Amino acid sequence: MIKRILFAAFGLLSCSTCLLAQNAPKYSNEFLTIGVGARALGMSGSVVATSSDVTSGYWNPAGLVLGKGDLQIGLMHADYFAGIAKYDYGSIVAPVDATRAAGLSIIRFAIDDIIDSTELIDADGNINYDRLKSFSAADYAFLFSYAMKSKIEGLRYGANVKIIHRKVGDFAKAWGFGLDLGAQYEKGNWRFGAVGKDITSTFNSWSFNTEKLESVFTQTGNDIPENGMEITLPRLILGAAYYIKIGEKFTVLPEIDLDLTFDGKRNVLLGGDFTSIDPHMGIEMGYRDFIFVRGGIGGIQQIEDFDGNQNWKSQPNFGVGLKIKNVNIDYALTNIGASGESLYSNIFSLRFSLFKQKK
């Protein structure tokens, strides 16, 4: 059964990629590539093989069955670009039984309070500042996750059904639908993981309010946009990690992941005409399962300077975490900008588990 599922997933990924790669854009629904949870962000997102909590709904749904508690909740808020953009995440996971779990994750990335001056001039040709309005350009994702343990010891797998909603005030909106498949395998101290993102490709159907746009676009000489379809091509992420325990107090968990894209050559460490491979790695060091220090590196690429010289750059990340009983408080200092630029953001997130009170 498992082999059939994996074979079908690989077939879907291969077929959809071959059919759509010629016309699809490289970057679509990019807000879904930022990541969630300060723990993972501090490790440069290198958690596909080891994710085992409420954030697994985003990173690898297979890890949801490893979460503890009768109810798990995860929360995160971040400000990007000096507070211009807001990034919010919330998730909830509950076990179905001893071998299955289900969850819901919600992501919102938005720029709010954008000034709308399309009606600044009234019917008499006068400027009336009372006619100024504001709107938001917001992207939403709703992930419905399900995971279960296999009869094969150490193997678990899961899936996401995701609904995308993108809205630009009253000007445009889109609805999209996609699927993710994930698996994890544990053997001794080794951890392996694989996730197929958008395995059937994710389709966003855009519609535009042409009545609101027509007059402004005509006056400015711009083409009026037409309703259409935006496609997000599949992405495959592979990960491997090794758990090390030093004495009774210390643990070390390094992981390396490979992001494989199939939309043409990208500016990554291993760029190819059909497949580009973007490696990133992270490490977590723990003391008494109480305090954790994390680091990671990713975004390895060549950047051309003003003299035309090509230099290798990367994006380092750093994080710390505290676990107090059933509550995890995580912090990460992450670089979300182009390699070599100082666009660091402070990320805080919270994870906690609830247990039923015993009578």
What per-residue confidence (pLDDT) applies to 99? Answer: 95
What residue has token string 């977590």? 284
* Confidence band for 358, pLDDT divided at 50, 70 and 90: low
Q: Which domain holds residue 55?
A: 2-354
| Region 221-229 average pLDDT | 76
Q: Which residues of 171-182 are buried (b: 16+ CB within 10 A; e: fewer)?
A: bbbbebebbbbb
Domain assignment present for 246: yes
Q: Which of 25, 98, 71, 4 is nearest to 353 (CA)?
A: 71
The amino acid that residue 37 corresponds to is G
What per-residue confidence (pLDDT) applies to 8? Answer: 43
What per-residue confidence (pLDDT) applies to 9? Answer: 44
* Confidence band for 149, pLDDT divided at 50, 70 and 90: very high
What per-residue confidence (pLDDT) applies to 359? Answer: 53
Taking only the tens place, the pLDDT of each residue in 245-300 is: 999 999 999 999 999 998 888 888 888 888 999 999 999 999 999 999 999 999 88
Domain assignment present for 255: yes
The residue that leads in pLDDT, 100 or 271, is: 100
Domain assignment present for 359: no
Domain assignment present for 302: yes
Torsion of CA 89, 95, 101, 107, to 10 degrees: -10
The residue that leads in pLDDT, 224 or 165, is: 165
Percent pLDDT > 70 in the chain is: 87
Q: How far apart are CA 53 and CA 62, in angstroms?
A: 10
CATH code where residue 268 lies: 2.40.160.40
Helix (H, G, I), strand (E, B) or coil at 293: strand
Taking only the tens place, the pLDDT of each residue in 319-355 is: 999 999 999 999 999 876 544 455 778 899 999 999 8
Token pair, residue 84, equals 């211009």
What per-residue confidence (pLDDT) applies to 11? Answer: 47
Q: How far apart are CA 250 and CA 286, in angstroms?
A: 6
Residue 30 per-residue DSSP state: G
Specify the number of domains making up the chain.
1
Kindly tell me if the per-residue pLDDT of 22 is higher than 50: no
Kindly tell me if the per-residue pLDDT of 6 is higher than 70: no
Mean pLDDT of the chain: 87
